[in-house]
Amino acid sequence: MSEVIKIKTPLDDSIVQQLKAGDSVKISGYVYTGRDAAHKRLFELIKEGKELTVPIVGQIIYYVGPAPAKPGYACGPAGPTTSYRMDPYTPALLENGLKGMIGKGLRSKEVVESMKKNKAVYFAAIGGAAALIAQSIKKSEVIAYPDLGAEAIHRYLVEDFPAIVCIDSYGNNLYESEPPKYSTE
């Protein structure tokens, strides 16, 4: 088993290019949240040539809609949502400096090509481990689109957020490389 790599946000090209598909990481620093509706709004701002409502250069967006927090906690269970729903908007965000995404599931060819071009990485978080993941979230604040409720953009302060590099900045993709290893054919 490989060593866990500790990384801090914001990310830059040198950090991103050292990460390889299959690496286990623990992320500390600030991570932004966003799902479909928030991505659509950010995409519209880019199309209109307007300034984004959140600073995405060097940042990571976590695809999550957290549950309400219990007293004494920064947020409730915060498991990843399926990433492909953000694919229509992702290349534009990568072109504008986004360096990482956390979610679950496959990404489109267009997203992977944009990741290679813009030196970005896709981390997988474990679906079904929402309560465990939430333990690494130390602070949460809504910073954009509060009208979206749980899908508003939050800024999380995370400490040792567990993830796996699923697609690296070179296009190496665990969703492609790993299934053949377990094929019975």
Cα pseudo-dihedral 176, 178, 183, 185, rounded to 10:
50
Tokens representing residue 161 in the block: 């957020």
Which helix (H) or strand (E) is 176 found in, with range?
A: helix 174-177
Q: Is the pTM of this model over 0.75?
A: yes
* Sign (positive or negative) of CA dihedral 39, 44, 47, 50: negative
If you average pLDDT over residues 12-38, what whole number do you get?
97
CATH number, position 154: 3.20.130.10
Lowest average pLDDT, out of 30-34, 89-93, 106-110, 179-183, goes to 179-183
Contact 171, 116 (CB under 8 A): yes
> pLDDT, tens digit, for every residue of 131-142?
888 899 999 999
Contact 38, 148 (CB under 8 A): yes
Whether residue 35 lies inside any domain: the answer is: yes
> pLDDT, tens digit, for every residue of 141-177?
999 999 999 899 999 999 999 999 999 999 999 998 8
pLDDT at residue 2 above 70?
no
What is the number of structural domains in the chain? 1
pLDDT at residue 1 above 70?
no
Rg of the Cα atoms in the chain = 16
Whether residue 48 lies inside any domain: the answer is: yes
Q: How confident is the model at residue 97 (pLDDT cuts 50, 70, 90)?
A: very high
Lowest average pLDDT, out of 27-36, 39-48, 74-83, 87-96, goes to 74-83
- 145 sits in the region (left: phi over 0; alpha: psi -120 to 50; else beta) called left
Structural domain including 52 reads 5-170
